[in-house]
Amino acid sequence: MSLFEENAAILHKFESDGRDLSSPRSIDFCHIFPDKVSADAFARAAETEGFAVAVHDVEREVDPWDVIASKEMILTCEAITDTEEYLDALARSYRGQADGWGFFTV
């Protein structure tokens, strides 16, 4: 299953559960990194691209640094997939990788 198909299935499930996807909301794109230097560098780069960022040290042996890059957007499969792919490529340039996305239900 492609990333686009996976995201389409997730959004379809949200709609089936009665969630309104037509209103903009803050979407959190999660990324993992092997060290603080890489995490901070990615966070600075994402911030210059208009994302709000948060860096967290987590208790995990592999890739113990999380960076959440958040942006207000309407939940469409195209927007989510394009953003996820863009941020994953950016994270990889700093030795990190994407680790999913989500949002708080309001």
Domain segments of the chain as ranges: 3-102
User: Across all residues in the chain, what is the average pLDDT?
Assistant: 94
CATH number of 3-102: 3.30.70.970
88 vs 41: CA distance, rounded Å: 14
7-19 pLDDT, tens digit per residue, is 999 999 999 998 8
Angle at 29 between CA 24 and CA 32, to 5 degrees: 170
Cα–Cα distance list, 104 to 27, 43, 45 (Å) = 8, 21, 24
Structure tokens at 16: 């089936």
pLDDT exceeds 60 at position 106: no
What's this model's pTM, rounded to 2 decimal places? 0.91
